[in-house]
Amino acid sequence: MAARPAGGHLTMATSWHRSGIAAPASPSRLRAEEGSRRLVWIAQIFYFIFLMMVFIGQQPFASRTQDELVAMAQENDGSDLFKQALFIGFAILLTGVQIIRKHPLRYRFSFWPLAIMLVWFFITCTWGVDPFVSFKRAMQQLIVIYITFCALSLIGPQRLFDALRWALITSLIICWISLPLTPAAVHPATESDKALIGAWRGFFFHKNIAGAVMALCFIVCGNSWIDRRKWYYALFALMAFVFVIGTKSKTSLALCVGMLAISNIYRALSDNTQKRAILLLMLGFGMVGFLGLYIAYQPTIERLFADPTSFTGRVSIWRVALDYLADHPYLGAGFGGFWQVGIHSPAHDYLNQQFQMLTAHSHDGYLEIWVTTGPVGLIMLLISFLALPAYWFLTGATRENQSLMVPAFAIWVFVMYQNLLETSFFDKDRQVWVIFLAAVATAHATFKARPRPIWSRRHLPQAESVNG
């Protein structure tokens, strides 16, 4: 507000106004980025290879006899030296590229709630029944997360998501080629779980993993076709959808169609924050409604889900974790320290059916984090992967960045809902978890880079004198 000096004249005033987005990068910075293009390509190739190694695993088309399942469950302690060396090698390679880079970082890590949550996970390892096993599993998470965000800092969100898209498409093509070439691409008649027989799995270990990855491929390719109108993206989306049907994965099939529709509603609302808020609230109420239906129809749902041949006996598995939480409500069993930690696994004291001896997780991502890291871990999970991404997607979407934010939003919603019936949060190096990390990293970097108006001072013209 202008001051009135003696004599009644108004002095020159200044006013704050929006002047649009920040100035473009300087020529020297552009030259530096141009000169470092080779390193960026190298980092992107490293990340693509890492994704393919995660998707394919060490034993594609592995058989699944009852004896092999028992052996795998007993050895599931994070002691795979080859995998440890592989992941550490990728981390070292990306770190080396980071050291010799000549361009500014495309992303600076500021997702501190995730870092704090990892610190808490390491703390919980100290009271696990086998702290060394818990520590190895937590270290595996640290390395996977480090690789994701290190690659992001080098290549940026667009290239990171491009690598993810082509890794999904490559996996889709390999899975389709494998169907006529090997009987191992379909669950055999020797399965102990008869519901699996005849379900497609491609090179994946289980049809539910194949179903989830192919559903995410369908979502990503479907959105790519909408954004770019390239015919081959429509073809890949169709191939992925048919493969999901072949897996007989009910959860993934139901979610993939819904998520493609929801993501396009989100796309249409990219310029309207209020309507996006309504959409996010509706999705939140959907998750709460799922819990409400379970409480309201608990006896009926438990009879349906507790059957090991139906939905993998999930309710009886949930009961194991909930019974443990009733006796240990505050700290949890330690990260990765509830299921399959040897003969002293805390879950063994609460098993209610024989098939649970082979269970490796709680078949509910939220419950798994709760039973292993306590209510503190669950709250951190909800803040890091529910509340904060919801804010990014609410306020960070624009017409310019929707080709990244829309598919990342669809993956985020898919995994948030999928974890009501499966466990993918911090699930070692499992495919869905790594895809989810890439989507969250992409969304955070895109949110941080969105154009923001800046404020600068503008001089107003001198006002006419006022003589009382």
In 3D space, the residue among 376, 362, 467, 468 whose CA is nearest the CA of residue 425 turns out to be: 362
- The DSSP bridge partners found for residue 18 are 455
Condensed to tens digits (0 to 9), the pLDDT of residues 175-193 reads: 999 999 888 888 887 776 6
Distances (CA, A) of 426 to 71, 100, 139, 142: 22, 31, 11, 10
The residue to which tokens 């930690």 are assigned: 341
Q: Which residue has the higher pLDDT, 34 or 118?
A: 118
Characterize the bridge pairing of strands 455-459 and 14-18.
Answer: antiparallel
The phi and psi torsions of 456 (rounded to 5 degrees) equal: -140, 160
Q: Report whether pLDDT(200) > 60.
A: yes
Q: Report whether pLDDT(156) > 50.
A: yes
In 3D space, the residue among 69, 354, 52, 84 whose CA is nearest the CA of residue 205 turns out to be: 69
What is the rounded distance in angstroms from the CA atom of residue 247 to the CA atom of residue 185? 10
Containing H/E element for 15? strand 14-18
User: HSE (CB half, 13 Å, CA atoms) of 302?
Assistant: 9
Do 363 and 423 form a contact (C-beta atoms < 8 A)? Answer: yes
What is the rounded distance in angstroms from the CA atom of residue 189 to the CA atom of residue 73? 21
Q: Which tokens go with 263?
A: 């993501």
Confidence of residue 60 (pLDDT cuts 50, 70, 90): confident
Confidence of residue 274 (pLDDT cuts 50, 70, 90): confident
What is the rounded distance in angstroms from the CA atom of residue 459 to the CA atom of residue 151? 45
Which pLDDT score is estimated for 22? 45
The phi and psi torsions of 16 (rounded to 5 degrees) equal: -95, 135
Buried/exposed 433-467: b ≥16 CB within 10 Å, e otherwise? bbbbbbbbbbbbbbbebeeeeeeeeeeeeeeeeee
What is the rounded distance in angstroms from the CA atom of residue 183 to the CA atom of residue 202? 9
Lowest mean pLDDT among 40-54, 117-131, 262-276, 387-401: 262-276
Q: Which tokens go with 380?
A: 């951190």
Do 265 and 279 form a contact (C-beta atoms < 8 A)? Answer: yes
Q: Which residue has the higher pLDDT, 249 or 276?
A: 249
Length of the chain equals 468
What is the rounded distance in angstroms from the CA atom of residue 166 to the CA atom of residue 422? 25
What is the rounded distance in angstroms from the CA atom of residue 459 to the CA atom of residue 200? 69
In 3D space, the residue among 312, 298, 376 whose CA is nearest the CA of residue 120 turns out to be: 376
Rounded (5°) CA angle 262-268-274: 90
**328: Cα separation from own chain's centroid:** 29
What is the rounded distance in angstroms from the CA atom of residue 377 to the CA atom of residue 381? 6
326 exposure class (CB count in 10 Å sphere: 0-12, 13-18, 19+):
exposed
Do 399 and 460 form a contact (C-beta atoms < 8 A)? Answer: no
Q: Report, as an integer, the average pLDDT of 278-301.
A: 62
Confidence of residue 50 (pLDDT cuts 50, 70, 90): very high
Mean pLDDT of the chain: 79
Dmax over CA atoms of the chain, in Å, equals 100
Q: Which amino acid is at 80?
A: D
SS3 content of the chain, % helix, strand, coil (to 5): 65, 5, 30
Do 21 and 451 form a contact (C-beta atoms < 8 A)? Answer: yes
Lowest mean pLDDT among 77-91, 229-243, 402-416: 77-91
Q: Report whether pLDDT(272) > 60.
A: yes
Q: Which amino acid is at 94?
A: L
Q: Report whether pLDDT(234) > 80.
A: yes
Condensed to tens digits (0 to 9), the pLDDT of residues 292-304 reads: 555 554 455 545 5
What is the rounded distance in angstroms from the CA atom of residue 426 to the CA atom of residue 137? 9
Condensed to tens digits (0 to 9), the pLDDT of residues 254-267 reads: 888 888 888 888 88
Q: Which tokens go with 13?
A: 């005033």
What is the end-to-end Cα distance of the chain in Å, rounded? 19
Condensed to tens digits (0 to 9), the pLDDT of residues 74-86 reads: 555 555 677 778 8
Do 304 and 311 form a contact (C-beta atoms < 8 A)? Answer: yes
For the ranges 113-127, 203-217, 288-302, 312-326, the maximum mean pLDDT occurs at 113-127
User: Which pTM does this prediction carry?
Assistant: 0.83
Q: Report, as an integer, the average pLDDT of 402-428.
A: 90
Q: Could you count the other beta carbons within 10 Å of the beta carbon of residue 403?
A: 18
In 3D space, the residue among 344, 347, 355 whose CA is nearest the CA of residue 371 turns out to be: 347
Q: Which tokens go with 268?
A: 């249409």
Which pLDDT score is estimated for 399? 81
The phi and psi torsions of 8 (rounded to 5 degrees) equal: 85, 10
Condensed to tens digits (0 to 9), the pLDDT of residues 105-133 reads: 888 889 999 999 999 999 999 998 889 98
Which pLDDT score is estimated for 206? 82
Helix (H, G, I), strand (E, B) or coil at 18: strand
